[in-house]
């Protein structure tokens, strides 16, 4: 997936960006289901025991189990006996990249990985970063623009990969919505909640309304948008 990192701090060095992209590569090599030699692929083929997979995989399993409990089972990284944490890893990778930038003293930056964004500080003009939420059908349009300063924006939907998000309770594809966007302080949580709320369908907004600090926008199959009470306050006025 495309990854973009923009850092406004003049002290940011090439070595800092190399560290960010090296960490993205590490997670891809470990968790990608398309790399036969990766730890997750080897786990799912029965060639590697979980306790031998290393601390990175153990941490991912712990996070997946935490979010499965937090979402009433609507987020799950298990399909039968297979461990498939791709719904968590992208948000986790962005979160880790943000931690690297902060550790190196960077204050104004954003990271975009496959359309999910973590924004910190201000943009080149000194204002908040403008993060567009793509229209699920008209690819050249956005439905809203989030003004993000120290905020994460994550969207799950069926418009890129088809009906690939399952309702773990039924095992069937979730088809009620076209997309679900979550805005909040933490990109890992926002990314997982976007997937879980998409699987919940119409119940997703009700769930998110009970999560402190997070707001959401759901777009139905009829292209009707509904949102949580605080969502519009985070958006640019149209």
What percent of the residues of the chain are helix, what percent strand, and what percent coil, each to the nearest 5? 35, 25, 40
In tens digits, the chain (238 residues) has pLDDT values of 799 999 998 878 999 999 999 999 999 999 999 999 999 999 999 999 999 999 999 999 999 999 999 999 999 999 888 999 999 999 999 999 999 999 999 999 999 999 999 999 999 999 999 999 999 999 889 999 999 999 999 999 876 665 678 899 898 999 999 999 999 999 999 999 999 999 999 899 999 999 999 999 999 999 999 999 999 999 998 7
CA 113 – CA 3 distance, rounded (Å): 4
Give the residue numbers spanning the domain of 193: 3-234
CA 6 – CA 131 distance, rounded (Å): 13
Residue 63: enclosing H or E segment and its boundaries?
helix 55-70
CATH number at 20 reads 3.10.520.10
Rounded to two decimals, what is the model's pTM?
0.94
Number of domains in the chain: 1
């Amino acid at each position: 997936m495309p990854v973009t990192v923009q850092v406004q701090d003049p002290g940011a060095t090439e070595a800092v960006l190399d560290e960010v992209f090296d960490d993205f590569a590490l997670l891809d090599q470990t968790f990608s289901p398309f790399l036969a030699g990766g730890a997750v692929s080897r786990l799912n083929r029965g060639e590697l025991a979980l306790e031998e997979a290393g601390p990175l995989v153990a941490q991912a399993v712990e996070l997946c189990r935490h979010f499965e409990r937090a979402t009433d089972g609507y987020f799950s990284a298990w399909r039968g006996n297979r461990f498939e944490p791709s719904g968590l890893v992208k948000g986790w990778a962005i979160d880790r990249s943000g931690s690297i930038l902060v550790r190196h003293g960077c204050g104004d930056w954003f990271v975009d990985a496959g359309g999910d964004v973590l924004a910190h500080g201000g943009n080149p003009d000194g204002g908040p970063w403008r993060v567009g939420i793509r229209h699920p059908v008209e690819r050249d349009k956005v439905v809203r623009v989030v003004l993000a300063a120290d905020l994460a924006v994550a969207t799950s939907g069926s418009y890129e990969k088809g009906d690939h998000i399952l309702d773990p309770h039924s095992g069937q594809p979730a088809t009620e919505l076209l997309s679900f966007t979550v805005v909040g302080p933490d990109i890992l949580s926002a990314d997982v909640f976007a997937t879980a709320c998409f699987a919940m369908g119409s119940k997703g907004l009700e769930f998110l309304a009970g999560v402190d600090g997070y707001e959401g926008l759901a777009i139905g199959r009829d292209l009707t948008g509904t949102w949580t009470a605080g969502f519009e306050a985070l958006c640019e006025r149209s």
